[in-house]
Chain A
């Protein structure tokens, strides 16, 4: 197992909760230094891993909350370089999985991109617009540098395809809980237990559930349905945005949401 995959596996197995808690952070929103402070607040509040989002101009898989945060991060000057530097600082506190759209990876080249993640201590990579069909060059680069390329599966993914994805999964499988983009939803649209069972049948690595999970009850339900990890994004980005707009401290605002989620996942 690669360095990155080992650190991710340990984060899942050592979490001590019903499921590992993986909050999402939009890097550079509202600015780089504040996002590093928010990451520290996540770690202090009980997060097991951190999904670090690279702001992108055209985030096709994201709903309005994360899209708006990405736009504001870019407007305030975030670059891939400054985000990766922040990743170095965050990875000293908590295992980091980078979430980035494919074009910034291609812009640097998969080889250079993966090498830089490894050098910075970033454990894994999630690319929401990189399906199996297109993943080979980036998977090879990640494997060569010990970075876990985490694949996504969706409710629309058929079983045979899930099996193929499961065979090339590194770190964990990111299970998209709903047919849609990221964003808070009042209820889990469909029963995630059936979907999670299908994914687990085809995977040897942990299975995390994300998209639409925004509160403790939903996080607990995800764990009860069999998720090894729970990913929460838009709810936290909204907490940061509201704090920024109200002149409050975004780190403590987002940290308290993470604490609530962590409480809900206590065994």
Chain B
């Protein structure tokens, strides 16, 4: 039996065209070998420390805590090189691809953070890089498009469907089907066919492992709640994995409720529930109609604008180990602004969903002794134009 999980309860699997199966087998074998290999681990750890700037700080946000009425710690993934947690996974996978002899790297991006992280890793390692991005996201995240191009990547516009993350993933998978022999697909989240969900989790669990050690050192106790935003769910799964064995720690995933769950314009398949389905190669919680057609998601945050989610999250939900809740565009925008005002930290709109949960639903269920730990998965520079416009704060 494989050492890498293919299924999390009923979720996961490998629903992909036959052409890709040998590549998934090859990838799984390479990962099993690499993660046991001291040389690979040492190379990755050295880059994470000296290039990315790990460990990222765990910061007691005093003024945010005062506003919330209880202690709130921020795991500062926004301080990583390239400004988000995405670099943890991108470096790990590109190093792996290089070990496998792949010369061409492809990736999808929504908000642009994963695209920038992958373009960065490819520049560092001297690999060709093509990033697929929906044209609506290229508009919303123009600075990241320019960054990727400066880093030597080619940004391939995707003009299908809603021109956002779902279509970018589909276009990247089609490229992989056509160029599988020399190409590795650096998938950006804990989604896709096995072994990707487990591989991405393994590369992102550094967030949770560090955070657990840091909060124990700072406070001598575990947090009561660990909160992270969930689109595909990679920062959340990476954070949760550090605490999943600690039964006293509640795990909270903040999904995009968009314009409101009842409006249908959201990106919250875990919160909404219902029948699971297959999107992008795995069986998980997805947004679909009764025929099994995939629905368009909506979120102000390009990184959460996705109708699927990682299969391990669906399993954590069903088992009750983690709880998922929706945060609207408006709540996320308010938290984006509030964190800037209170702490001098401009969060990514994605991460602002997690902050918003703590300031709203999370505050109602907290006592003054509650300790919350939020994964602040990225910084908000990329979102300035979009967020300021929506907040009505743009100058003429």
A→B interface (CB under 8 Å): 56-58, 60-61, 63, 67, 71, 74, 79-81, 101-108, 128-134, 151-158, 161, 176, 179-181
Contacts and interface: CB of A to CB of B under 8 A. Distances in A.
Interface stretch (B144-152, B177-185, B321-329): B177-185
B291 interface: yes
Contacts of A152: 17-18
Contact of A57 (B178, B275, B294): B294
Given A60-B174, A156-B23, A74 B14 contact: no
Contacts of A79: 291
A157 B177 contact: no
A180 B18 contact: no
Interface centre among A57, A63, A101 (most CB of B within 10 A): A57
Interface stretch (B75-83, B99-107, B276-284, B336-344): B276-284
B185 to A, nearest CB: 12
A74 B293 contact: yes
Interface string B1-24: 000001000000111111111110
A155 B275 CA distance: 35
A61 B177 CA distance: 8
B14 A63 contact: no
3 tightest A-B CB contacts, nearest first: A107-B292, A180-B178, A104-B292
A203 to B, nearest CB: 14
B161 A133 contact: no
B17 A134 contact: no
28 contacts: A56-B293, A58-B170, A58-B279, A60-B173, A71-B161, A74-B293, A103-B279, A104-B291, A104-B292, A106-B277, A106-B283, A128-B17, A129-B281, A130-B15, A132-B21, A133-B13, A134-B15, A152-B17, A154-B18, A156-B18, A156-B180, A157-B21, A158-B22, A161-B21, A176-B19, A179-B19, A180-B19, A180-B178
Interface in B277-328: 277-281, 283, 288, 290-295
B294 A131 contact: no
Interface centre among A63, A103, A105, A181 (most CB of B within 10 A): A103
Contact of B292 (A103, A132, A133, A155): A103
A106 B174 contact: no
B22 A157 contact: yes
B160 interface: yes
Interface string B37-48: 000000000000
Contact of A134 (B14, B19, B170, B178): B14
Contacts of B15: 102, 129-131, 134
Interface centre among A60, A107, A108, A161 (most CB of B within 10 A): A60
A31 B294 CA distance: 21
Contacts of B180: 156, 179
Given A103-B279, A104-B292, A179 B177 contact: yes
B294 A58 contact: yes
A156 B279 contact: no
B277 A103 contact: yes
Contacts of B20: 156
A88 to B, nearest CB: 17
Contact of B19 (A80, A101, A105, A156): A156
A38 to B, nearest CB: 22
B16 A129 contact: yes
B205 interface: no
Contacts of A60: 16-17, 170, 173-174, 177, 280-281
Given A103-B292, A156-B19, 7 more contacts: A58-B170, A102-B278, A104-B292, A107-B275, A107-B291, A134-B13, A179-B179
A98 B322 CA distance: 40
Contacts of B177: 60-61, 179-181
Interface in B136-180: 160-161, 166, 170, 173-174, 177-180
A151 B293 CA distance: 23
